[in-house]
A and B are shown apart, each in its own frame.
Chain A
Amino acid sequence: MEEKHLIDGIQPNQGPIYPEDTNELSSALSDIAEPGKVVVPVGGATRLQIGAKMPHYDYALDLSNMNHLVAHNSADLTCIVQSGITLNSLQNRLKEQEQFLAVDAAFPGKATIGGTLASNAPGYLRWQLAHMRDMVIGMQVVLPSGTITKSGGPVVKNVSGYDMARLHVGGYGTLGVISEISFKLTPLPRRQGSLLVGFQSENELQNFSEEVFDSYVMPLALTGMNENLIKTLQIDAPQCQYLMVIRIGGRQMAFERQLNILNKMLDQYQDSHTDFLEQGVSDRLWEKIRDFRGYGSSSSITGRVFSTPTRLRSLLQDIANYFEEIGPTLAICIQPGFGTMEFYIDNLPAESKVRPAQVMEQIHNIARQNQSHINYEKLPADFKNGFNMWGQVNEGSLGIMRSLRNTYDPDKKLNRGRYLTDKEDN
């Protein structure tokens, strides 16, 4: 057994399966025909902790050997990959042709493309380059029965049949196992760099992000963080309560113009701390930000908030007030223009004045009050019992989601009991 196959302290009853290609993956799934058996698809296991606690599971279906770049048509800005390829392996290959896949997820040396898509991993490139699902132009999926099926294709515009890939991005491997993906690619910007701007208040950070949002600057990424995260990541931003990092890119003149616009906008923020980072230093900083949840302790709680830019602003204030009251460390990383936020909570429960379940439920309430959604991604296994990690989805949508789950995986062979559709089984 590999340690990475341990989920919430549970190891698979049988040895792991390592398919080398789609046909072997298909055979593996069709061979597991006995009702009640539970299979967990595994990529790099960087996000395997997400989901409700399983009572048991039988097989880890480890896709790490399906790690090939099948085709890279650089003149067409497209590629086809097996789902087990790591993000770093792929990006390094694409970089040779001055291209990249506009998908960035934490721990890219381990994280696989399939796992990143299936778990709808957060990333910072969405500010300009949209959601990762918009990069997917075709997908091959193996159904729980072993049937191999595909949709889309290696072209950038396609409305032929249902866009089935949409179901599997964020489907957590509950409707099928992603085996191969066609992507559209993006040219690497000729020049990149980042501007760091430190603020004394969250209000200033939000105001500035709104100004950026409203300007002609098109950042590749824009992220804000609070003091706890600044300290944790050991970023040199003295006396700053909040920090914004703006990554810009483009051809030389366009790059300089964006930098000029930003610097001019900063004139009205007299007390702000600013620093410009050239590409190498900038890249290293973004690696730290990208992996920030890895800096929390083993008992930390991590989660994501889905909101709109305006709602996020009030939600952030409410959460900050709540944590000031109760004490634990809250590290936050926000994408103001996109309306999302990630966080981790540390030092809970030891220094907390209230019980963990109460804290998590109160954050849910704050999200609800701000018409936002929250999804806990990592909880200590003990906290998972009976707690709804997935947050609220309206009943109408949930009904269709359950119907999809029952249609494509009636025996709940894949990831049984872990996804929000399976809540009644827990």
Chain B
Amino acid sequence: MGQSQSLKMKELIPELKRIVGDDYVLDDEADLLVYEYDGSIDRGNPVVVILPNTAKEISQVLKLARLNSIPVVARGAGTGLSGGAIAEHGGIVLSMARMNQILEVNRSDRYAVVEPGVVNLDLSTHVASEGLYYAPDPSSQRACTIGGNIAENSGGPHCLAYGVTTNHVLGMEVVLADGSITWFGDNERDGIGYDLRGITIGSEGTLAIVTKISVRLLRLPEHVKTMLMSFETIEDASAAVTGIIGAGIVPAALEMMDHFCIKAAEEAVGAGYPEGAGAVLLVELDGLLESVEEESEEIEAICREFSPLEIRVATDSLEREKLWSGRKGVLGALGRLAPNYYLVDGTIPRTKLVDVLKKINEISERSGYPIANLLHAGDGNLHPSILFDERKPGDVENILAIGAEILRICVDSGGVLSGEHGIGLEKQDQMPLMFSEEDMATMSLLKLAFETEDLLNPGKVFPTGAGCGDISQARAIARVGPGAYI
């Protein structure tokens, strides 16, 4: 946003304060700093941050923004990893932090209606006494919000069996770019007309602002079994994954960590992962007791074909939590291995795990940068994390190039650019790797059908016009700025 637009925005601040209240409009430079970043490498300064409390307030803000051609970016907890909540073009950031109420829990019909600022885990905790839970569980679930999950169509370890966010949202109240308030879907599991609910989920806040969400709740399973299998090599672990899925078993979760992740997790939380293993699989089964036992026996038999170093079954909930603590804490723990890491997100066909991981290892050896591999292996979702030190000249450029190369390998293997983090700013210039110009033009028509002014989270998802090579990297580096932590 240019200086003149910034000045224009400042003039609107009294009006914005009238809409949401004096305390909920932030324009002090120090306050704004908190909102310039999310969990990605990107940075962008909003001119003003607004903390609305109702859809009606958001409607009024959007009408004002439209009248003055000011971009608006909705923001949840800011845990996103692709820059979706970054105010790339300045303007207004709408923080949903105050809209954090669980409005209704309907046990009979198994749904809850929540505001977008509700923290993901809080909902499951809230309905646990009813024997229910909300299935999508991103790794950041202690902090991330359900509104943000909708924007990115978030996944999580347990999405293997139960699906990602879009599979669990029944309907949403939204505010459209013109300020009108409506519902896409409601509390029903099917409906009439185009699936506006489905097309809005994962649209990264570019089509509408979500203000209420009706989500499906599942019954807590009768039995849960968590198993840890360790293997000498990551190839053996990958082959075991292919064997499990190929045998027609879809566990609740099937996670993989390589030796870097094992080392980091052990040092950080002491999860009890075996030393010296090349990779571990964390497998969780849930459901009927008999179903879990039958499937776990088959999984053990499959894994034994690949000479596991150890197969361990959690004997109680404490041990289960301990095994999971390593997995959930591993990203933070990578800081023990290097000052910085760059987390890549791509999905490949599950049968290509061995080939792709081998190629990633070759890149690591060739470049000299260690790459820690953390995978939602059951659904082919890779998270190679490139370890580096941003203080070393050239490191940022190098790791961005490596990340792009890994994504190219994913796409060439029949995979996709993102499994659960979204495109945002991070991968927008890599979209042509996967999509033709016609594909992207067709997608951009969708945005036009919702709003013609391009004021809702502009500059996201679609390429900037540059190619996907060096220029993209240069833009990323420029955005990162000095001192950024990746």
Selected contact of A158 from candidates B250, B418, B440, B443, CB within 8 Å:
B418
A98 within 8 A of B: yes
The chain B residues found within 8 Å of chain A, CB to CB, are: 106, 108-111, 152-153, 155, 159, 163-164, 166-167, 176, 180-184, 187-196, 198-199, 201-203, 219, 221-222, 242, 245-246, 248-250, 287-291, 293-295, 347-351, 376, 379-381, 414-423, 427, 431, 434-436, 438-440, 442-443, 445-446, 448-450, 461
Count chain B CB atoms within 10 A of each CB in A150, A167, A396 and give the residue with the most: A396
A355 within 8 A of B: no
Selected contact of B194 from candidates A167, A309, A311, CB within 8 Å:
A167
Selected contact of A339 from candidates B109, B288, B420, B449, CB within 8 Å:
B109
Selected contact of B448 from candidates A148, A152, A169, A407, CB within 8 Å:
A407
Q: Shortest Cβ distance from A256 into chain B, in angstroms? A: 8
Per-residue 0/1 for A387-419: is the Cβ within 8 Å of any B Cβ (1 yes, 0 no)?
000110111111111011011100000000000
Knowing A130-B167, A156-B380, the reply to whether A161 touches B414 (Cβ < 8 A) is no
Contacts of A375 in B (CB 8 A): 192
Q: How many A-B residue pairs have CB under 8 A?
A: 256
Contacts of B202 in A (CB 8 A): 159, 162-163
B417 touches A160 (CB 8 A): yes
A74 touches B246 (CB 8 A): yes
A143 vs B155: C-alpha distance when bound (angstroms):
30
Selected contact of A397 from candidates B184, B250, B376, CB within 8 Å:
B184
Selected contact of B108 from candidates A150, A210, A256, A406, CB within 8 Å:
A210
A395 touches B431 (CB 8 A): no
CB-based nearest B residue for A398: B193
Selected contact of A310 from candidates B109, B189, B190, B350, CB within 8 Å:
B109
Contacts of A307 in B (CB 8 A): 188
CB-based nearest A residue for B294: A251
B182 touches A403 (CB 8 A): no
Q: Shortest Cβ distance from A350 into chain B, in angstroms? A: 30
A257 touches B196 (CB 8 A): no
Q: Shortest Cβ distance from A76 into chain B, in angstroms? A: 5
CB-based nearest B residue for A420: B193
Inter-chain pairs besides A73-B349, A311-B109, 16 sampled, C-beta below 8 Å: A155-B347, A156-B347, A156-B379, A156-B380, A164-B443, A167-B194, A167-B195, A216-B219, A216-B288, A258-B288, A309-B108, A396-B176, A396-B183, A404-B194, A406-B449, A420-B192
Contacts of A99 in B (CB 8 A): 248
Selected contact of A130 from candidates B163, B222, B295, B414, CB within 8 Å:
B163
Knowing A73-B349, A250-B291, A254-B291, the reply to whether A309 touches B419 (Cβ < 8 A) is no
A187 vs B450: C-alpha distance when bound (angstroms):
39
A399 vs B189: C-alpha distance when bound (angstroms):
22
B420 touches A157 (CB 8 A): yes
Knowing A149-B438, A170-B193, A251-B290, the reply to whether A157 touches B182 (Cβ < 8 A) is no
Q: Shortest Cβ distance from A421 into chain B, in angstroms? A: 8
A153 vs B436: C-alpha distance when bound (angstroms):
13
A78 vs B347: C-alpha distance when bound (angstroms):
14
Interface residue range, chain A: 35 or more
B108 touches A310 (CB 8 A): yes
CB-based nearest B residue for A140: B439
Q: List 5 A-B contacts (CB under 8 A).
A: A77-B245, A150-B436, A153-B434, A155-B415, A161-B423
B418 touches A170 (CB 8 A): no
A159 vs B434: C-alpha distance when bound (angstroms):
12
B166 touches A163 (CB 8 A): yes
Contacts of B106 in A (CB 8 A): 308, 310
Kindly identify, within residues 276 to 297 of chain A, every residue whose CB is under 8 Å from any CB belonging to chain B: none
A147 vs B437: C-alpha distance when bound (angstroms):
11
A263 within 8 A of B: no
Selected contact of B418 from candidates A134, A149, A159, A216, CB within 8 Å:
A159
B188 touches A157 (CB 8 A): no
Q: Shortest Cβ distance from A26 into chain B, in angstroms? A: 11
Q: Shortest Cβ distance from B231 into chain A, in angstroms? A: 19
In the A-B complex, the 9 residue pairs with the smallest Cβ-Cβ separation, listed nearest first, are A396-B182, A187-B248, A166-B198, A254-B291, A253-B290, A75-B246, A407-B449, A149-B442, A160-B417
| Main SS at interface, chain A | mixed
A416 vs B280: C-alpha distance when bound (angstroms):
56
Contacts of A393 in B (CB 8 A): 192-193
CB-based nearest A residue for B155: A157
B181 touches A396 (CB 8 A): yes
Q: Shortest Cβ distance from A304 into chain B, in angstroms? A: 8
Knowing A147-B438, A159-B202, A166-B195, the reply to whether A134 touches B443 (Cβ < 8 A) is no
Q: Shortest Cβ distance from B219 into chain A, in angstroms? A: 7
B195 touches A133 (CB 8 A): yes
A156 vs B106: C-alpha distance when bound (angstroms):
30
A159 touches B419 (CB 8 A): yes
Knowing A76-B245, A154-B349, A396-B180, the reply to whether A159 touches B193 (Cβ < 8 A) is no
B109 touches A308 (CB 8 A): yes
Knowing A133-B195, A306-B192, A338-B190, the reply to whether A257 touches B288 (Cβ < 8 A) is yes
A347 vs B438: C-alpha distance when bound (angstroms):
51
A158 touches B189 (CB 8 A): no
A394 vs B445: C-alpha distance when bound (angstroms):
23
Knowing A153-B415, A170-B193, A396-B183, the reply to whether A134 touches B109 (Cβ < 8 A) is no
A426 within 8 A of B: no
A6 vs B349: C-alpha distance when bound (angstroms):
43
Selected contact of A162 from candidates B347, B436, B443, CB within 8 Å:
B443
B188 touches A159 (CB 8 A): no
A77 vs B414: C-alpha distance when bound (angstroms):
14
Selected contact of B414 from candidates A120, A155, A159, A391, CB within 8 Å:
A155
A169 vs B199: C-alpha distance when bound (angstroms):
11
A75 vs B164: C-alpha distance when bound (angstroms):
21
